[in-house]
Amino acid sequence: MKQTRAYPLFTVTKKGTRWVEDGHPWIYAAEILAKSAEPENGALADAVSEGGKYLGTGLYSRDSKIGLRLVSRNANDCFDKAFWRRRIRYAWDYRKAVLDEADLGCCRVIFGEADGFPGLTVDRFSELLVTQTLSVGMERLKDLLFPLLVEVLREDGQEIRGIFERNDAAIRALEGLEQGKGWYPLPGETPPESPVTEICENGIFYAVDVENGQKTGFFLDQKYNRRAVMRLAKGRRVLDCFTHTGSFALNAALGGAAHVTAVDVSESAIAMAEANARRNGLEGRMDFVAADVFDLLPTLKKGDYDFIILDPPAFTKSRKTADRAEKGYKEINLRALRALPRGGWFATASCSHFMPSAQFERMLRSAARDAGVELRQIEARQQAPDHPILWNVPETDYLKFYLFQVV
């Protein structure tokens, strides 16, 4: 490699080299054999093979098991303001290409490694951007990146009034970062007075509290899966389990369902779902139940509902607990299938990367067999395209969503 930059050189093992050459942007600390110098935490370093072949340039993390997160494999890149501006522009242009124009007002603008910003998530909720920074490298760069984000979007005619940081994730500790949340101070601007805004998705309005809502305030990845449920719901009695703020239930109601019951164990989530129903004039065809889904499903009589939706939180956040999580998934899917009549409709999902599609499908086959039914697949879907999947980065592929008819 022709060395033209002053970045420290990290020599990587043969195993780490193969990993990078296969396309993954992470170099684990255990695969770093030597450093020509110790960079500042979060600073850039070049990675080379044991033979000196250039592998890429990445952001160094002193505390994480992921020692280097690559941001480029081009030895000629200059990581200045223009570089990062181009990358933001590229991410936004991608969203404009793959999303309906109406969905650009509530979408994921940056999805970490899938957009070349390792450890950074940026969601847009109307006039607010919400960020979650989970790597020390992105934390170090945010004073450059965040004003650029606003600049790029405003140049495209988008109204952006502020950035709210949701850095209250425990995983930040793995990078030696403190937790916290609050408005990011854009130079020369006063933050909005309220962290609550309103979005419109699939024709439904939601109040989004970016300070206190789940994750960054609202789950955007199921937007088109909710639309698929809307199409099937007309005239049906629908049970939406793990409703959270009511998104699947509201889509079913707007789609013409005869009646929708929305269930969640959280009373505050149920209160928000009811408020969203009132906002959209749908409360007359819906009811809301605060209950544990595991307890509720066995009490149902076959045919009480002819469409059941299961969208649970992640039952596993590590490979070690995947088998135990599979048992939990089977339990709720089996109980739902037993409650549905022949010809009924069934939607089921998993949002865990550590529950791969093959394992989830194996569980569904087992649940259907034990319930004495067959599943006629309508669609197998994933996350919306503003959460792009890189095939060489399996961590970006996490959401599984299936629509079936029970026969």
Nearest to 241 by CA among 252, 232, 231: 252
List, by residue range, all CATH 3.30.750.80 domains of the chain: 81-194
Structure tokens at 280: 């959209």
List, by residue range, all CATH 3.40.50.150 domains of the chain: 221-406
- Under a CB-based contact definition with an 8 Å cutoff, are residues 360 and 350 in contact? yes
Beta bridge partners of 402: 348, 380
pLDDT in tens, 141-183: 999 999 999 999 999 999 999 999 999 999 999 999 999 999 9
Conformation bin of residue 157: beta by default, left when phi > 0, alpha when psi is -120 to 50: left
Which parts of the chain sit beneath pLDDT 70? 1-4, 316-318
Does the domain at residues 9-72 carry the CATH identifier 1.10.10.10? Answer: no
pLDDT in tens, 37-79: 999 999 999 999 999 999 999 999 999 999 999 999 999 999 9
Q: What is the pLDDT of residue 322?
A: 76
pTM of the model: 0.93
Does the domain at residues 221-406 carry the CATH identifier 3.10.20.30? Answer: no
List, by residue range, all CATH 2.30.130.10 domains of the chain: 9-72
How are beta strands 286-290 and 400-406 bridged, if at all?
unpaired
Please give the angle made by the CA atoms of 91, 95 and 100, to the nearest 5 degrees: 175
Q: What is the pLDDT of residue 217?
A: 87
DSSP letters spanning 77-108: ---SHHHHHHHHHHHHHHHHHHS-GGGGGEEE
Q: What is the pLDDT of residue 265?
A: 95
| Count of C-beta atoms within a 10 Å radius of residue 286 | 25
Task: Give the span between the Cα atoms of 58 and 142, in whole angstroms.
Answer: 16
Which one-letter amino acid corresponds to residue 168? D
Q: Using DSSP, state whether 113 is helix, strand or coil.
A: helix
Q: What is the pLDDT of residue 4?
A: 53
Structure tokens at 149: 């984000």
- Under a CB-based contact definition with an 8 Å cutoff, are residues 77 and 83 in contact? yes
3-state percent breakdown (helix, strand, coil) of the chain, nearest 5: 35, 25, 40
Q: What is the pLDDT of residue 2?
A: 44
Topology at the third CATH level for domain 81-194: Transcription Regulator spoIIAA (3.30.750)
Q: Using DSSP, state whether 159 is helix, strand or coil.
A: coil
- Under a CB-based contact definition with an 8 Å cutoff, are residues 197 and 125 in contact? yes
Task: Give the span between the Cα atoms of 249 and 286, in whole angstroms.
Answer: 8
Q: What is the pLDDT of residue 139?
A: 98
Task: Give the span between the Cα atoms of 207 and 210, in whole angstroms.
Answer: 10
Check if 107 is active-site. Answer: no
Which one-letter amino acid corresponds to residue 387? H
204 Cβ partners below 8 Å, 6+ apart?
A: 247, 250, 251, 254, 276, 280
Q: What is the pLDDT of residue 3?
A: 46
Radius of gyration from C-alpha coordinates of the chain? 23
